Structure 1
Amino acid sequence: MTTPATVLDVLTTDNPHQPRLTCYDDARGERIELSGAVLANWAAKAANALQEEFDVEPGSVVALDLPTGHWRTAYWAVAVWAVGATLSLDVHEGADVLVTTAPTSDAADDSDEVVAVTLPALARTWQGEDLPTGVLDEAAEISGFGDDFSPWYDSSAEDPALVRAGDRWTMAEAVPTVEPGRVLLAVADPAEHLRTLVGLWAAGGSAVTVITPEGTLPTGLTPDPLPARLVQEGVTRVVETPPGQ
């Protein structure tokens, strides 16, 4: 059975050098392409940070306050599931750990621990106002964690994997069946976006995401005609609706 917690293994064993996620961050003028091996490396470092710095384990709740479709959102989600913790997208409810671009927000005040994420690819330190004491600066510190990850505790298929706005998915429910391929992933709901992404990876596929200057995903695109850069990326279909809907 494929669960979110097993996706890290899939990324490193199923054509690990194949592109799995290409992210156009038009707000920052960046194109980032990650193979399965590179994604797994980022996820392993993030998972080690959660486990070693914050004692995150099955039963812990990690909230993500990062842009839908961004490559950093993808590897942090995989990291949370690799540890066996619950990924929450309801950041206003507080969490054991909050991973965020806004480390001085009210949501940060309501969480026990905070990781500050800087989105630009080449950032080597936090680029905003001074961080509060105890906040982990991902850009400065994540590289110091190990490239391989082994969880300290086992998770079960019935453990909660994902929560958003009253909806909950267990580890057994979180990975939908998705047709493989090279797709433009434009599912706007953040929970369904992540579920579709890991389902696509589990099927051996890869995704292209585009974050507009407004911080949103493009809508209303069809395979014919696609924008030229998506044709160049080998995109063959657009996914805007989650599997099963």
Structure 2
Amino acid sequence: MNASDRTPADLLRSALATDPARPLVTFYDDATGERVELSAVTLANWVSKTANLLQGDLAAGPGDRLALLLPAHWQSAVWLLACSSVGVAVEIGGDPADADLVVTGPDSLDAARACRGERVALALRPLGGRFPQPPEGFVDYAVEVPSQGDRFAPFAPVDPAGVALVVAGGELTAAGLVEQARADAEALGLTAGSRLLSGLSYDTWEGLSAGLFAPLAAGASVVLCRNVAELGAEGLEKRVESERVTHRAL
């Protein structure tokens, strides 16, 4: 990655410029059998569309706080990078009542209703499918995002010194997040081309780093596994082989 990268969105742009076709995030849900593989260009397209939704339709901007009530999932990775593109701070599992807007999965809709700002709901269905019945009081992400623009330009420059992430009570600026992700990548032994399989949740920095930010900082890729315990030891080893995994975080 480039030494000049100072935000997570910068890291994604560098990945896109280096090798747009390579798999960047491969997601499994071992409770449902879902598998989704996103190349750098596909992930960047989702991020651009989501950032346009966030900045345009939801009127979010630098300094706003978004409560993210989502599990480790490829769409969670999209929202994390879209918020970085706009300059919105993400609070993992944050209190919706204290947030400017909330993004939630189907299991936390009731809690998310406490947000007095914009509310976005994700069905987390295979292939990014929509809710069969849209939840009242929420924007259905899968309905709104496809029509958004494929290119994104922020209305205001993103400040690398601004808060980008709040997780487990700790805050990271955009630049601090990139610095920590690089340090974690080095500690894990990740280099360009590495494939890290992560079964960690997204409710800690360790899970977020292994499941997205450290591989992105290293020019590596992640195999993100939700409900990986369902696989069993033999199934896990088969996945490691089939996905050409070089590192693990479980």
Q: TM-score, normalised by structure 1?
A: 0.86
Choose the corresponding residue for 1:121, options 114, 126, 129. Answer: 126
Deviation digits for residues 213-245 of structure 1 (CA, Å, limit 9, x no counterpart) = xxxx559x99x99511221100012124xxxxx
Letter of the 1:195 counterpart: S
In the alignment, structure 1 segments of 5+ residues that lack a partner are 241-245
Cα distance change on mapping 1:111 and 1:25 into 2, 3 Å: farther
Residue 139 of structure 1: how far off its partner (Å): 1.2
Q: Using the alignment, how far apart are the partners of 1:91 and 1:166 within structure 2?
A: 10
Residue 203 of structure 1: how far off its partner (Å): 1.4
In the alignment, structure 2 segments of 5+ residues that lack a partner are none
Equivalent position SS for 2:95: helix
Residue 110 of structure 1: how far off its partner (Å): 2.5
**Which structure has the highest helix share of the two?**
2
**Is the Cα–Cα contact under 8 Å of residues 64 and 100 in structure 2 kept in the other structure?**
yes
Deviation digits for residues 134-169 of structure 1 (CA, Å, limit 9, x no counterpart) = x21111121000111111111222100100232110
**Moved segments of 4+, more than 4 Å:** none
Number of residue pairs aligned between Structure 1 and Structure 2: 231
Q: Using the alignment, how far apart are the partners of 1:81 and 1:48 within structure 2?
A: 12
Within a 5 Å distance, the mapping from 1:108-147 to structure 2 comes to 108-122=113-127, 124-128=129-133, 130-133=134-137, 135-147=138-150
Identity %: 34
Within a 5 Å distance, the mapping from 1:87-236 to structure 2 comes to 87-94=90-97, 95-102=99-106, 104-122=109-127, 124-128=129-133, 130-133=134-137, 135-175=138-178, 176-177=181-182, 178=185, 179-180=190-191, 181-188=194-201, 190-192=203-205, 193-196=207-210, 197-212=212-227, 217-218=228-229, 227-236=237-246
1:11 matched to 2:15? The reply is yes
Q: Using the alignment, how far apart are the partners of 2:248 and 2:142 within structure 1?
A: 32
**Is the Cα–Cα contact under 8 Å of residues 88 and 162 in structure 1 kept in the other structure?**
yes
Residue 117 of structure 1: how far off its partner (Å): 0.5
Q: TM-score, normalised by structure 2?
A: 0.84
